Each structure stands twice: as C-alpha cells, then as structure tokens.
Structure 1
Amino acid sequence: MKSFHPSSYFSLPKWVLPLLAVCLCACDGTNVQQQAHAHVTEEYHPKERIPYERPATIIKALEDSSSFWVDSVFKTLSPEERIAQLIIVEAFSDKGPAYEADVMRLIEKYKVGGIIFFQGGPVRQAKLTNKYQAASKVPLWISMDAETGVGMRLDSAVHYPSQQMLGAVADNGLIYQMGSEVAREFKRLGMHVNFAPVADINNNLRNPIISYRSFGEDRLDVTAKSLAYMRGMQDGGIIAVAKHFPGHGDTDVDSHHDLPVIPYGRHRLDSLELYPFKELIEQGIGGVMVAHMHIPKLDSSRNLPSTLSEPIVTGLLKNQLNYKGLIFTDAMVMKGVTKYFPPGEAEARALIAGNDVLERLNSVPKAIRAVQEAIKAGYLTQQEIDRRCKRVLAAKQWLGLDKYKPVALQNLVENLNPALADSTNKALAEAALTLLNNTKRMVPLRPQKRLAIATVSVGAKRVTAFQREAKQLAHTSEFYISRKANAKETARLLKKLRKYDVVLIALYGPSIRPSNNLGYSPAATKLVQQLAVSNKAAIVLFDNAYALNQFPDIQKSRALLLAYQPHYHAQAAAARLLFGQIPARGILPVTVNRFYAYGDGINQDKPFLAGP
C-alpha cells in the first residue's frame, strides 16, 4: 500500500479535485442526495454449507473470516456497501422523531455497519434498536462508550465506579465481576461492542480528558485492571475495545477540542504508555481504539493525528505489536482530527492508515465518496476494503448477529438492575475507600453521650446519603451548604459549628461523575480550609482524587478519606468506615501532590469494630 502524505495528496488531480468538490459541495450526511451508483448484488450459492462452530475468542474468529454466513452476506453487498460496513454512526434515544429519521436514513440509504448509542433511556433505546435492525440490510452491531456501564449513558440503569475509583481497589476479581455484569447488561440491551477499558496511564494531573477515566499512574496496576475488565466483558460475549492507543495519559490537551502533541519516542512509549496495550493484545483484546494525537517522533508528517498515520496504525500497531484484532478510530467528529483534515479526506486517510472501522462521522456520503476516490487513485484497493468488510461480518457472526433476535422489552429495566449489580457496586465502594490522614487515631469515631458531632455536606442542596448513614450510627446534627456559597453564608455556618466537638465534612462536585474542577466559590473553599485546620474535622472527598489540590491546607485535617464518587454505596461506606464498621483498604492510584503520592493509604485488614 502506498503511503499517503499531504504533499502527494495535493498533487494528484486524478482524484483530489473530485474529492475537494465533494467536500465543498456536499452538505450534512443526513441530507445529502447520494450520487447515482449502480447497485449490484450477486447471488451466491455455496456448494456446501458447513455448520458454524463459534471460535473460542474474537481474535480466532477474525483470523478465519470464511463461513457460509459471512460469504453469503458479503456477496450481496455492492462495493459501496462494503465500505459502509466499516462505518459506525452515532444515535441518541432522547432526541425525538426527526433525529431518529436521520439515523434511519443512514441505515436504509447507505447501509452503514453499526451504531454507537449515547444518551437516552433503556426502553427507548431498545425500541429504536429493534426498529433500526429491522430496516438494516445486514444486522447492525451496536456499540457504546460505557466505561462505567450502561448507566453512564442511560437513565434507569446501573452506574458503576469510575476507573480511578477502581484503581484504588486491590481485588481485581471485583473488577472482573463488574466487567461480567456490564457484558450481561449489554447483551440484554442488544449491544455488542463496549469502547472500554481506558488503558491510558494518567501521569499528568492536568490531563483534561483522561484523568479519573484512567485506572491510575502505575503501568502494572493499569494493565492488571484493564485485563480484568476486558476478560469480564469478553468472557461474557462482548467485544472490549482498549483506548486510546498509543496512550493519551500524558497530555494537557483534550483531543475533543484540539490536536494534542506527544513529544516522546519509542523508548518512553515502550516503557510506559504502550505497556498496557501490549499486554491486552497478548491476552486477546478484541478491539483497539486509536487516539487523535500528533506524535512527531513516530510520524513527522505535519499536524497528522495518529488515527491517520500509517506508521502508527499499520507500522506500530499491526506490524510491530502484531495486533490481529479490530482497529477502531476515535470519533471522527473530534477537533483532534477535523482541525486539519476535512470530512471525507479524514476518513479516507484513516482507512489508508490501516484502521478497520470508522466511528462517529461528520458525513457518511462524504466519507464513502472519498474512499471511492482513494481506491480509484490507488491509495486503497477494493480487495483491502473487502477483506476488512469480511472481518466486520466475521465479528458480527461471533457476536451472534447471524441469528439476530429483537430486544425483548418486557421487564427490561428490572433486568438491568439486578441484585448482583448492586452488591458488586457495594463491594467496590467499600474496597476503594482510601484513608489518607488519621491523626491521633481519630478514626474510628466512638460516639459518646457528651461527644457533639455535626455532619456538613458542601455542594449539596439537602441532607445527603452520607449524612443519613452517619445518623444511623451516631447522634449527629446535619448541615449543608452550596458550592457557590458566599462569605455571609459560610460565616453563619461556622458560627453554628463552634459548639461541636467533631465535624464530619463531605465534599461534593457538580455531578455524579468526577470533575476536573469542583467549581467551589472562594468563600466555600475558605470554609473547607478553616474546618481542615480546626483540629476537629474529618473530611471525605466524593470526587476526583486530583481535586484535593483545590483545597488549601486540607492535609492538616485530622482525618482525610477519599471516596472518589458520590454513589450511594460510596457515601454509605464512607460513613460506616468513619464509625469503625468496615476497614480502610484502598490505595491512592495517582500522585496528587507532595503530601499524597501513588500507593498511599492507611490500610486495615479487618474492621476497627465489630460490624453489624
């Protein structure tokens, strides 16, 4: 395959001029009138139909893509439709009929290969899945960015911990169990591919996009936990996709908004960023997602994202790391690729670079036409498109789409919220709690009649689950205050707290997801600081570990507990730990500052007190 560089691209009138005309004249993918193409299907009658024996792994299925079903479906597809099988388009289940009709148009007109679902609800998504599948010429594979389970995207579904919170858990068997549960939820919703785990090593505390989405900063921990999550999902029949190759952890630029530049060469990448990906490849990860990052020491082409780099995708990932699974692009709508390459050209370059599947496009017709022009110009061959199309079909058969059945709607929400998922979340929350300070053994608290205890939730509008649980364990008085509180409000609260011997402070961010910036007002931040140095405070952070840096003097608190997220089980577990009902077992998965480094955590191998 010829290399594809900007200089040669702009010197080839054979196909560049038609491509530029397409990019300038074609409108959005849902509204463009498709140019006339001869739609030719071939009848195909194999001499002998051999019963399909499902390979043990997705990699084995991809290595031998010949089967009666794959061959027979493939022979019905026109060359254009074979390109379309390499495309996954986005879909939401909360945007209404007009939006849904646009998605349906892409399925019926262009015969795209799959869908990636985003926000919505499980019943609405299941109904749309059934509707879209019924209209599709070839069964669609359905995917989702569900790093923390389908509850990350859908209401009425289980929301598992962030990967940073999982990074604090010593027992990787719990992470495998979570992966198994996520796979079960995927199958119940008629989904097949999860763009998880995040295998990036987050060693840059200013990282705006990975941060809490990573298992941590230690390559061995990140690898072990990524493997546990991957195995749980793939043992459950779902394709796991490791991201963001070759490693997005050490950047302070969000590739959704710009093109990050990674200055490192192979020696550094081999010793750190690539390590988890190598192990995941060795253990049979079904998919790898390539990031939009510019890595000049691997490919010096100006402003070229790794997604469009043949030396990185084919040279490094396929040839040097010997990866045999499916290679997915990161979303092709992100500024990390669109800033320098227009729709159409970007997708053609991505396939030339060696990617198998294009995910979340700006325009399907522009992409298809650009790929066709690349084939005419000799930068791609139809045979290479056909080979990748057969791999996609082989993956679909391994996933069971050769025997597709609609999603059953009855009891769907109940099935997505089983008792096992709840108990898994509880176990993970308790195992992750990381005790960073315990001056003069303040924890465990032993309630006494004369000990006045107050609980304060900062960033809450009402009494929280943490406070309710604490109330069950001791006689407490409850207070709450906004993250945006002014000086008068904080002064009023401080005055009320003077009469208490112990103050348990719960810090919350703006949402259930961890945040890079908690958005506290200067007065609210000063309130936390004043309580931290009061010699009577135990502080619990229900958010991103790096957020500790937003609170001056927090290291002076008598007790400091990191709970990572405000899930119900995390809040209940934090209260129970403070009162000695469960042990502290978590370790800090990242270095936060000079006070708190990777591996810190005051651990106990048994509860302080006999629990109920």
Structure 2
Amino acid sequence: MAKLVDLTKKPYNLNADQIKWVEDTIAGMTDEEKVGQLFVNLFFPGSDEYSGNEFTNQEIVEKFHIGGARYKGQDSVQVQGLLNELQSASKIPLLVAANCDSGGDGATNDGTYIASGAQAEASGDTSVAYNAGYVSGREATALGVNTNFDPCVDILMNWRNTIVNTRAYGTNADSVIKYTNAYLEGLTQSEIIQCIKHWPGDGTEERDQHLVLGVNELSVDEWEDSFGRVYRNHIENGVEMIMAGHIALPEYQKALNPSLKDEDIMPATLAPELIQDLLKTKLDFNGMVITDAAHMLGMTSAMRREDYVPLSIAAGCDMFLFFNDIEEDTMFMMNGYKNGVITEERMTDALRRILGLKAKLNLHLKQAEGTLLKDKSELEVIGCEEHLEMGADAANKGITL
C-alpha cells in the first residue's frame, strides 16, 4: 500500500486554509491540467524555442499547464524577466528551480560563487558551507526562484566518480551530514524549497548516469550506515523535496522485493521499491520526489519513453523533470493516466505533494495580492560586497594540503 502524504505534518505543516486551497485547486482541475502539473519544463532566457517545439514561453505555460520551470544561463535581468513572464502566464503559480550548489552563480551568470562541496569540506569550517547556502538562497530568490535543486548529499566513496567528485561534501556520512546541514541552514534564511539529491546515493561507482544506468553496489547494512544515515538526517530536519537519480540499489531492491531478478532492476526513478517502500514508507519521507533529468541514458535505456514517462509517476515520483517532445510526452503521461498505469489515488497524491509545496510558500496568496513577481531593485543583492567577501573568505579557507 503506497503511503499517502499528510499535509499537516512536516515538511509541509500546512494550516487548514492552505490545505483547502490545495484540495479545491485539485477538485477544479481538468485532466490536462492534472497531467501538466507533473512536468517541469526547461526554458532558455532570450529564446522562445525549446527542443524543436514552435511554442512561445507563454504558450508552454498556458497550453500545457506545467507545474514547474527550470532555465539555463543568462544574466540576472534576463532571468528575472523570464521568470516574471512565466509566473504572469500561469494560472497556478509555478515552482521555479535553479541548481545552486556553490552560490548564486548557479542561478544566474552574474551570481556570486562561494564554494563547491569539496571546497567547503576542505576548509574544515561549516561557515563556508553555510555561506554557500545563504548566498544561493538570497540571490536565487531575488530572481524569482523558489526551489533549489541542491545540495548533493552524495558520499564520495570512489575518487574516480565524475558526477559528484567536487560536488560532494565528504567521503563519509559524518562529513556530508555536517556540511550539508550547514548549507541548508544558510539556504533556508531565504524562503525557498530545499531539494537534496541523488537518491538513493551517488559516489560509490565511476559510471555516469548521463550515459548508462548508475549502480550503488552497497549491501543493505552498508547503505543504512552511510547514505541511510544522511537521508534520515535530512528527512528528520524537514527537507521538502528529494531528487531521485537514475541509480539502482540492487542489494536493497532485492531485499525489499525478493522476486526481482538482475534484469528486473530499475533505476530509482522507475523503482517503486526504492521510492514507495524505502523512501516514503521505511524512511517516512512525507515530502515530494522529483526525477532527475529525463534525457539521461540511465533512464532512457530502461524502456520505451512512452512507458517510462507514466511509470516514473506510478513508481512514486511526483514530478517529471524535462520534456523531450512536449506534445508527445504530455500524450504519454495522459495515456498512462487514462489507462490506469497512474491510478487516481497516485495522481491525487502527487498533486497534493506538488501543490502542498506551493501552498507552503503561499505562492497562491502572493499571486492573488500581486506580490509574486519580482522587482528589478531586488537584483542589487546579486554580487553585492557582502557576498563577494564571503567568496574571498571561502577561497582563503579552502586552500589545504
């Protein structure tokens, strides 16, 4: 039995009015709006075209009813303009994400770099990680970002790992917990949704999920004493979102479902035993799960796209990161919903988790009162003297032998 979200409990802690907005909104949705809410689109500031689709930014929001947005590059004025445009066009406010793992430079080209995970750990000073999170939150929210797809809470057990070698905050669970806690403490000085990654854990191997299925080879006990400790720590602390990687955890998957054969092992993004059974039930994660980017071969090699698009939601992921072909992917998700691959209960649970985060940020109230869009004056924080001094301090402290 899949575990359903409780919006009164952490990480949501919603009041009766917020929950009423969530449930009234879902009750008023068409099937097209429900399906659209599951998707995050990738936008390019200064360009209306994406992946060969001839839709303007406004059409993508209005026609496909997307639930979230991420964007690539450009300077702060262009980014803020794009995000204001998207929020203006959206009937339901969007979750807008950036990848700020080392400072505001992850949100905009003119943002302030503070420190990578490796640099924070090398400094031996949690204030460096705190400042990286603090600056990330301040500079991202000035643009209109309300969700941060960082930090990586992976453990660099294999120095040859190319994905998280400088993004990881340590080679053991204690270091990762120590520095990522500090980063998130800094991040949450701003009003922004936290998202940790890459469930169930990268850093043990040297494969690249962009090119092949990732595999975390740890035994159940080894995983529990490392990645399990890290994730339990952040879930206890109230992290709101977890990004599922295209990473398998075969030993644990077989322990949870003894009928699985090697050829049945799927990445976490398509594995109900890892999302529903381990993360949402055993670890009691009551927040939202999002897939990692859906163009990576760790996912695309598993099966046909028309199958894995809806199966990711059926497996327990709540949002799907990035379209390939926007019309085709929407159709694949709709077909999965109509054919019962995504049950009514699973759809409603996913929507409650998504809209619950929007309600936690009171995006609907800001939209109603006209305060959702950002003003150019807010951009003054980007690259400000205080942030540049934090970057210089991190550089001095990070030089170690």
1:198 pairs with 2:160: no
Q: 2:170 aligns with which of 208, 213, 216?
A: 216
For 2:163, the aligned partner's letter is I
Residues matched between the structures, number: 382
In the alignment, does 2:26 pair up with 1:71? no
- Could you tell me how far 1:345 is from its partner in structure 2? 1.6
More helix by share: 2
Output the amino acid matched with 1:382.
E
Alignment check: 8 A CA contact 1:122 1:413 kept: yes
User: How far apart are 1:111 and its partner, in Å?
Assistant: 0.3
Could you tell me whether the CA contact under 8 Å between 2:118 and 2:167 is conserved in 1?
A: yes
Question: What does residue 394 of structure 2 align with?
Answer: 428
Matched, 1:397 2:362: no
Contact 2:112 2:135 in 1 (8 A): no
Amino acid at match of 1:431: K
Point out where structure 1 has 5 or more consecutive residues left out of the alignment.
Answer: 3-53, 437-612
1:363-374 counterparts in 2 under 5 A?
363-374=325-336
User: Does 1:126 find its partner at 2:72?
Assistant: no
Matched, 1:59 2:59: no
**Aligned residue for 2:58?**
104
Separation in structure 1 between the aligned mates of residue 10 and residue 280 of structure 2, nearest angstrom = 18
| 1:430 maps to amino acid | N
Q: Could you tell me whether the CA contact under 8 Å between 2:117 and 2:167 is conserved in 1?
A: yes
| Cα distance in structure 2, aligned partners of 1:423 and 1:77 | 48
Aligned to 1:344: 306
Judged with a 3 Å threshold, the aligned counterparts in structure 2 of structure 1 residues 418 and 357 are, in CA distance, closer, same or farther, namely same
TM-score by length of 2: 0.88
CA distance in 2, matches of 1:149, 1:431: 16
Q: Does 1:285 align with 2:239?
A: yes
Alignment pair present for 1:335 and 2:297 = yes
Cα separation, partners in 2 of 1:65 and 1:377, compared to 1, 3 Å: farther
1:288–1:113 distance in 2 versus 1, CA, 3 Å: same
From 303, 319, 343, give the equivalent of 1:357. 319
Contact kept in structure 1, 2:98 and 2:106, CA below 8 Å = no
Matched position secondary structure for 2:352: helix
After superposition, the Cα gap between the structure-2 partners of 1:192 and 1:413, relative to the gap in structure 1 and judged at 3 Å, is closer
Residues 7-55 of structure 1 deviation map (CA, whole Å, 9 limit, x = unaligned): xxxxxxxxxxxxxxxxxxxxxxxxxxxxxxxxxxxxxxxxxxxxxxx99
Q: CA deviation at 1:333?
A: 1.3
**How far did residue 110 of structure 1 move?**
1.1
CA distance in 1, matches of 2:18, 2:383: 38
Query: What TM-score do you get using the length of structure 1 for normalisation?
Result: 0.59
Provide the rounded CA distance (Å) in 2 between the counterparts of 1:226 and 1:65: 33
CA distance in structure 2 between the partners assigned to 1:86 and 1:324 by the alignment: 17
SS at match of 2:376: coil
Question: For 1:490-501, what aligned pairs fall within 5 Å after superposition?
Answer: none
Quote the Cα distance in structure 1 between the aligned partners of 2:134 and 2:223.
31
Does 1:322 pair with 2:274? no
Deviation for aligned residue 1:98: 3.6
Kindly indicate whether the alpha-carbon contact (under 8 Å) linking 1:83 and 1:389 is maintained by their aligned counterparts in 2.
Answer: no
1:143 counterpart residue number: 97
Deviation, structure 1 residue 203: 1.4
Q: CA deviation at 1:190?
A: 0.8
Give the Cα–Cα distance (whole angstroms) in 1 for the partners of residues 181 and 138 of structure 2: 18
Identify unmatched segments of 5+ residues in structure 2: 254-259
Structure of higher RCO (CA pairs closer than 8 Å, 6+ residues apart): 2
Hey, what does 2:256 align to over in structure 1? none
1:324 deviates by: 0.8
Rg larger for:
1
Matched residue, 2:117: 163
* Other-structure match for 1:567: none
What is the identity, as a one-letter code, of the residue corresponding to 1:432?
G
Counterpart in 1 of 2:382?
416
Across the aligned residues of Structure 1 and Structure 2, the Cα RMSD in angstroms comes to 2.4
8 Å Cα contact 1:345/1:367 also seen in 2 = no
